[in-house]
Amino acid sequence: MIGVVVSRADEASVAIGEQLRALADWTDDGDALRRDGFELREFEDWHVELDGVAEAFSDPDLVVFASRHSGDTGPLLTAHHTGNFGPGEFGGEDYALAETAPEAHRRLLDGFREHAPDGYEVGMECTHHGPTEVGAPSLFAELGSGEDEWRDDAAARAVAKAILGLEGVAPRGGRSLVGFGGGHYVPRPTRIVADTEWGFGHVAAEWCLDDMGAPADHTETIDRAFAATDTAYAVVDGEKPDLEAVIDDLGYRVVSETWVRETDGVPLDIVQSLEDELASVDNGLRFGENASREYVVVELPDDLWADAHSVSAERARRIARETTVGYETTENGNRVEGRGAFPDRDAYDEYVRRLAGLLREKYDAVEVEEGAVVVTDTAFDPDLAQAAGVPEGPKFGRLAGGQSVEVDGETVTPAEVAREQTVRYGV
């Protein structure tokens, strides 16, 4: 059940509450409004003062604070979790963090993007105010950023629709991250949530970290950020070696945005296994489409792939993705090189056959033999051209391109200066 908090002290909250009433059928028992999956209650106090508010509801799985957002950001629908990485100037306890709901947060932002009126942006904020002890996973759903927007029925309706769209969502349990660094409106986490299946719990912007102070003096707060988000992973914006050292000592892992994007959709036990056996994502590991927990590791035929890449870079990369569990790369993931993990030996054989098939678009003959791919081609030979009296220069280029040339009144054809060449790629 989702408990929805409306504060009578907040006109935007009241407006969202009115839209919630209008959009759904509720039963009014005089104490609360109820419908399947939801319970809505009004409070006199500001949201930030409502520590322990989950006790007012009937055992909620999630508490959503329908609230205003105030700032110089123009029309904005935003969502965030609550707590204080430093002193609690705006509700809640000092250095205390509420339990987060990353999956609900992701769904709420999806709802904002679906329903936002024209002219409204959708965004995320860092963790920056109370309450810090709600009693259940919680988040703020906010309408901003000034009086005009707080009184905008269409915007209030959009927030209400997004809240109702949370029906059935598990507040947590998916892939989630803690964030450190960056601005108040957390651009990197916003991108990640919009583009991947990863969600965010607590995010400490730069100013939050400044308020917190030296990481080594606040290990309990940092540990709480991970525990309240139910994750072992963090994204850190900027160079923060002292913070990263504390995170590592606590047994958590700092990962890059590249790591997050490349592991999207890949079972994390497979990620860990391949990083242990091959390379880290940041050192070039990329994942194929075969999510097999059993695999064979093979030294890849780098020269064969490079030649196929010269025919079609995208198709050569696609062959690697479609046949492997994972593979090593260079050049920021653009060049397949090193070792690959395949579900079985047959999948590796398919990899070789498909690369050979790509080469048939380039060469006269390509044969797949035991342990080798044999490429045969008739190509321009500079030595034969020189022996025929062709001067090195533009005429070499024309012959190589399949055109005949005149030398001392004699015609030299491409066939006369071509030689059959054979290359064997070991596989």
Torsion angle (degrees, nearest 10) of CA 307, 308, 313, 319:
-140
For domain 2-262, give the fold.
Aminopeptidase (3.40.630)
Give pLDDT tens digits for 136-160: 999 999 999 999 999 999 999 999 9
Mean pLDDT of 267-290: 97
Q: Which residue ranges does the chain devote to CATH 3.40.630.50? A: 2-262
Tens digits of per-residue pLDDT, 189-231?
999 999 999 999 999 999 999 999 999 999 999 999 999 999 9
- Average pLDDT score over the chain: 95
The predicted structure's pLDDT at residue 416: 79
Q: Which residue has the tokens 């900027």?
A: 238
Q: Find the angle CA(13)-CA(14)-CA(20) to the nearest 5 degrees.
A: 90
Going by DSSP bridges, is the β-strand pair 372-380/405-407 parallel, antiparallel, or unpaired?
unpaired
Instruction: Provide the pLDDT confidence category of residue 380 given band limits of 50, 70 and 90.
Output: confident
Give kind and range of the element (H or E) at residue 366.
strand 365-369
Ramachandran angles phi, psi of 64, nearest 5° = -115, 125
pLDDT digits (tens, 9 = 90+) for 288-326: 999 999 999 999 999 999 999 999 999 999 999 999 999
Band of pLDDT at residue 92, cut at 50, 70 and 90: very high
Model pLDDT, residue 39:
98
Taking only the tens place, the pLDDT of each residue in 7-63 is: 999 999 999 999 999 999 999 998 899 999 999 999 999 999 999 999 999 999 999
Residue 278 vs residue 390, higher pLDDT: 278
Where would I find the H helices in 92-150?
102-115, 147-150
pLDDT at 175: 96
The mean pLDDT of 55-80, rounded to a whole number, is 97
**What is the reported pLDDT for 404?**
87
- 384: pLDDT strictly greater than 80: no
pLDDT score of 415 more than 80: no
Q: Is 414 helix (H, G, I), strand (E, B) or coil?
A: helix
Residue 140 in contact with residue 67, Cβ under 8 Å? Answer: yes
What percentage of the chain exceeds 70 in pLDDT? Answer: 100
Pinpoint the alpha helices (H) of 60-126. Answer: 102-115
Per-residue pLDDT at 266 exceeds 90? yes
d(CA 258, CA 270) in angstroms, rounded, equals 17
pTM: 0.89
CB atoms within 10 A of CB 407: 13
Listed residue (116, 102, 118, 230) closest to 171, CA to CA? 102
